[in-house]
Chains A and B, each alone.
Chain A
């Protein structure tokens, strides 16, 4: 079986449409963030991990599992539930909505539990305000790390490829992060610690995908007469040649994530959704953003022309 072998799609010719599409997504993303700043007070909807909130401790007089409790407290929307000690005791970490006091939250939890398990089956043992699990420095440091990794990626790709390849890869990655964050902002997905990891995963995936396409472009450029080919045609055939691989890899990854989404339960649903979205965007951007960006950078600044002199194929490490 072979999918998309010998395909000849005119991806690069359609780059203007892709620019409009990406541009729209980025504008919507930024608008959603700004809208959130004015309505929510922060550009993303931060969960209890970041904002702190309430900590309610309940003790049941009968056997109850964390799953029962989650179902009673709203399923996918349920707050964080942790079994506490050996008995049927639980810690519930719920966000504190604006204008609500800790007593309101405890009363709300208590009402929901009474409705589900009956009166007198449990006791609220304590209710407290708790601080955030992580401080703002987590995000600051993560953002700094990503920025710094851009610089090193740029240098590495400039060495192994040409400078414009590094720049195009960074542009594509920024594109992917912006749209993913925009999605999180627009749908007000609660940001918790795993969401941070999901965004980092998308950065990694997007880079990987872009480099595979770039590798083929580099190879075609370095073939005899490669530099004299029409740039658009060369990029197009490179993308088409890697298309079977792109489809299979992305397809497999998405298949796994869909399994996680359908079977993984409520708690990791958001996490999986963000990953699926990121993979789709990462795949799209390596074809429609990163590759055309190479062309634009060359047209505008003529970067990479000098590289014509070195015809040497990058040396692969023998294993």
Chain B
């Protein structure tokens, strides 16, 4: 069907509709220089002011590199990442549809550790010591105040102060009753407590252990979700941390576990020092668990990491191994056998696959050396200046009109056909750019100018050949056919050579070089099709119904 003029026209129309649809559906993304975007100022977190200027400068250098890699992998083209002073970083991104996702990817520490899960025995023995440390530090009064502050059911003052470690929260009927009569029983309890001797009181005050329930898995405690902030606060106290058993830490699990009608989080007892960190990671990819179809991140360790991992796991068969990401235990599988260089992080049911992709991305790019705070968040205008863009638009329009005038004045009707073919080229390019989610910037426009020039050139080559054939005395139809055929080799070779250059620039280039290469590649393909196929079709249409020897306007 594509041999007939009608078939050719139909094909061109379909391609234009597809391009138009791409443009309509995806829109054309413009870069920071043409449109502006989101502007973040990041700072290394230093709450205690303990970091030296040098340490900060060194950290921001590393942060700079890692964030560059992350944003590159996120697919944002030509971001602006710039160090400000010695301790801050400006990140400007164009065309971000989900700002929170972008911020998450920038800010996530992505610090991955593998730690051994320990039995709770030592920790159980240390709990009374931890309780005493809390009471000694906060004092009875403020503990009481805290108990009132957390109004969640089952956590009234009475239970916070006097509840036993074995009281399972699931069986909380007494707690609920207590909550109903908070005012009366609370006061009564306080009065009762005041009559006790100090020693006796300290013995019964168990602020922490009262909130810990026996875990369902070895090496864990369960904490009701509403108690998590309180426990977190206790565990963050330096006095409490000093009272921990040697080389042991408590870290939260990511997952929420339902037991009966209530939800819990696991608190894992872990070896303090990780035996392996994300620094040994070679690659990480998002995938779906083949068995449960849940999203997961599959990782692969490098050789040194793989050896370490094998050695460690073969010595701990039967133990549990916690995969800790940014201080949260993602999972703690049992080591059934020696594990090699591969593994995975399960994301839990209901997590969107995109989240697994983002995690894989930040893991590949590496961990940030410090927490980052966003100290300023703004939108910025186009870096070129709106005035320049307005002027550029006018100038571009005038340039286009010049091309049309020159082509029509020089080649008459044939020139007009070429202009129509160029209009089709524009639709193809815009469709191609939006279809490939490319971002248009000033360097990209340079690539387009080159490809427009080549499209015009291809038409000029064809028309000159047709004129030569006509001058040599050939009949119109023959001259047109010969003209297209003779011009083809030059057009093909010029386009392929330029395409080779564009593809190499894309492969090796960064930032603006890449932007240039993308638009140039799209532009060359579109210009080739436009000159060879679209102009030809228009010519065939023009020649239809003409006698083979009738003169044409060229």
Contact = CB atoms under 8 A, between A and B. Distances in A.
- Give the contact-size bracket for chain A: 35 or more
Given A65-B386, A259-B395, A86 B379 contact: yes
The secondary structure that dominates the B interface is helix
Nearest to B396: A260
B464 A244 contact: yes
A316 B446 contact: no
Interface stretch (A18-26, A116-124, A199-207, A289-297): A199-207
B83 A263 contact: no
A133 B511 CA distance: 10
A24 to B, nearest CB: 28
Given A67-B387, A152-B500, A130 B83 contact: yes
B352 interface: no
Contacts of B456: 249, 252-253
10 contacts: A142-B513, A156-B493, A197-B513, A201-B516, A212-B457, A252-B453, A257-B399, A257-B449, A265-B392, A319-B533
B449 to A, nearest CB: 7
Contacts of B505: 142, 145-146, 149, 200
B402 to A, nearest CB: 5
B62 interface: no
Contacts of A2: 467
B443 A131 contact: no
Given A197-B447, A200-B446, A204-B502, 16 more contacts: A5-B467, A82-B385, A129-B85, A133-B81, A141-B510, A149-B501, A149-B505, A193-B442, A193-B512, A201-B450, A215-B493, A216-B490, A218-B489, A256-B400, A259-B399, A265-B388
Contacts of A134: 510-512
A205 B450 contact: yes
A255 interface: yes
B508 A145 contact: yes
Interface of B: 36, 39, 64, 80-85, 88, 90, 378-388, 391-392, 394-396, 398-400, 402-403, 406-407, 409-410, 442-444, 446-447, 449-450, 453-454, 456-457, 460-461, 464, 467-468, 471, 485-486, 488-490, 492-494, 496-498, 500-502, 504-505, 507-513, 515-516, 520, 532-533, 536
Contacts of A142: 505, 508-509, 513
B80 A211 contact: no
A211 B497 contact: yes
Given A1-B410, A149-B501, A201-B450, A260 B399 contact: yes
A316 B398 contact: no
Contacts, number: 259
Max count, chain B CB within 10 A of own CB: residue among A55, A144, A149, A255: A149
A105 interface: no
Interface stretch (A30-38, A180-188, A227-235, A267-275): A267-275
Interface in A128-148: 128-134, 137-138, 141-142, 144-146, 148
A128 B460 contact: no
A207 B110 CA distance: 47
A208 interface: yes
Interface in A88-124: 91
Contacts of A1: 409-410
A153 interface: yes
Nearest to B529: A319
B443 A145 contact: no
Nearest to B464: A245
A198 B505 CA distance: 14
Contacts of B443: 193-194, 196-197
Contacts of A251: 406
Instruction: Kindly list the 8 A-B residue pairs having the minimum CB-CB distance in the complex, ordered from nearest.
Output: A83-B381, A67-B387, A197-B443, A265-B391, A215-B490, A263-B395, A256-B399, A131-B83
A142 B489 CA distance: 29
Given A138-B513, A201-B450, A256-B399, A207 B497 contact: yes
B513 A201 contact: no
